[in-house]
Amino acid sequence: MRWLPFESSFARPGHRLRELTPKRVTVPALGASFHLEILRGDQGLRRLLPLWDDLLLRSAVRTPFMRADWLEIWSAIFSEDHDAWIGAAWHEDDTLAAVVPFAISPGQEGPRRHLNHLTFFGGLGEVVSEGQNLMALPGLEPVLDLLLDEVLAAVSGAWDLACFPYLDLDSPYLPPLSAALARQGASCSLVNEQLSPCIRLDKPDWEGCLHQASSRFRQKLRKRRTAAEAAHQVTFRSIESPAEAVAALETLLRLHGERWSPEVSQFLQPRSRHFHHELVRRWCPRKLAWMHVLEFDGQPVAMDYLFADHDRVWDYQGGWSIALREFTPSYLLRVLGIQRAIATGKQDYDLLPGGEYKNDWTKQGRRVADLEAINPRSLKARAFTTVRAVKRGLTDLISKRDD
């Protein structure tokens, strides 16, 4: 694994990235002192990883995309593209109290390629996180505020545009993150607000839970299953062993590739494939990753790849045979995931953002958005936002004229 040296290539001419000298601060409101530091490089990350999931378990926001396994694998594959700045706060008894997991990296598309992005560690590249966040022990928000200020001051001249994707608008960490950026003089905004549809699992069976969908949709789902069972021998299976999971992932990629090209779907990119091969090896035996397959006459026609973490299931990715679209095999297979989620005591089945078809299942969900901030020290960022605003204004004018 290669990490960028301290004299980072992301620094602007004449600007030296400031390393945070480990410091001890006292927080009168908490009656305790804390040790603050920024950890960088492979050794720094590895120092935190054994403690990471224990802190995550006690934090207000917990998602599979924040787990130590996810970040360790992501770092091993994508570290050459990103410069890690991970702030850590330690209680005076050496308990890990808070973490600010940041990274800086070039943008990936269009004009953004010329801008350095500040985001969550694990949040960019071919494997984009849909649920990264800050972490802190309950009641230690003042420590998190101090840590955010220290990390942002350390990287103040190294980024142009901050982009923290898919933040839950109800996250208790959104206000302190926005406030810390504002204290650095950055102008913040929430963009790309959308719904992450969630099926509430408040009934004892899947048909009861599907009353969140329209009666027309439920009737169509039953008809499709009846038609499939009349025309084929239908089998639903769960994948359990690591070896079987790796083979199943290749089947999923093949089915997913029937609808999407690697240029459109990052899930099909080589480094993404590498990432998920390693992830399913680790998570399938621990029941953190679920892989389900629907077979017609012994042949796989649909696959689902899900994460099961705490009280929620996250429907991450899927693939299905276009030749059998008349039976909507992906919809039929999703029922298996809902049934398993109910059987294992989960409270929500999160479909994740993106795709109008997901609203067929439920109108409920989480509101998510990207938090963007412009670094006031960056001329490139100001130019980028000015040009973007002009383009959007022209688009609106043309649209109104055409109307």
Count of domains forming the chain: 2
Please check the confidence at residue 7 and state whether its pLDDT lies above 50: no
Residue pair 337/290 in contact by the 8 Å Cβ criterion: yes
Same domain membership, residue 286 and residue 236: yes
How far are the Cα atoms of 64, 240, 357 from residue 289, in angstroms, in the given order? 9, 9, 23
Q: Chain-wide mean pLDDT for the chain?
A: 88
pLDDT tier at 105 (50, 70, 90 boundaries)? confident
Judging by DSSP bridges, how do beta strands 312-320 and 348-350 pair with one another?
Answer: parallel
* Euclidean distance between CA atoms 29 and 186, whole angstroms: 27
Same domain membership, residue 218 and residue 331: yes
249 within some domain: yes
8 within some domain: no
Same domain membership, residue 285 and residue 353: yes
Same domain membership, residue 152 and residue 267: no
Residue keyed to tokens 């989480």: 366
Whole-number pLDDT of residue 8: 35
CATH number of the structural domain spanning residue 301: 3.40.630.30
Would you state the structure tokens that stand for residue 177, as one six-digit string?
A: 């993150």
Same domain membership, residue 354 and residue 288: yes
Same domain membership, residue 393 and residue 276: no
Whole-number pLDDT of residue 401: 65
Q: Lowest mean pLDDT: which of 105-114, 221-230, 271-280?
A: 105-114
Whole-number pLDDT of residue 13: 33
Please check the confidence at residue 220 and state whether its pLDDT lies above 90: yes
pLDDT tier at 114 (50, 70, 90 boundaries)? confident
Same domain membership, residue 45 and residue 110: yes
Would you state the structure tokens that stand for residue 394, as one six-digit string?
A: 């022209």
Q: DSSP of 167-190, one letter per residue?
A: EETT-TTHHHHHHHHHHTT-EEEE
355 within some domain: yes
Q: How many helices (H) and strands (E) would you count in the chain?
A: 10, 14
Same domain membership, residue 345 and residue 289: yes
Buried b (16+ CB within 10 A) or exposed e, 139-177: ebbbbbbbbbbbbbebbbbbbbbbbbbbbbeebbbbebb
Same domain membership, residue 205 and residue 83: no
Please check the confidence at residue 363 and state whether its pLDDT lies above 70: yes
Whole-number pLDDT of residue 390: 67
16 within some domain: no
Same domain membership, residue 178 and residue 116: yes
231 within some domain: yes
* Euclidean distance between CA atoms 103 and 8, whole angstroms: 12
- Determine what percent of the chain is predicted with pLDDT higher than 70: 89
Whole-number pLDDT of residue 15: 34
- Residue 44 CB neighbours (<10 A): 17
pLDDT digits (tens, 9 = 90+) for 364-400: 999 999 999 999 888 887 777 776 666 666 666 666 6
Question: Which secondary-structure segment (H or E) carries 50?
Answer: helix 41-58
Q: Burial of 53 by CB count in 10 Å (0-12 exposed, 13-18 middle, 19+ buried)?
A: middle
* Stretch 12-24: mean pLDDT: 51
* Stretch 259-286: mean pLDDT: 94
Same domain membership, residue 201 and residue 180: no
317 within some domain: yes
5 within some domain: no
Same domain membership, residue 155 and residue 93: yes
* Euclidean distance between CA atoms 99 and 169, whole angstroms: 20
Whole-prediction pTM: 0.88
Query: Domain range holding 167?
Result: 23-186+375-402
236 within some domain: yes
- Residue 398 CB neighbours (<10 A): 10
Q: How many Å from the N-terminal Cα to the C-terminal Cα in the chain? A: 55
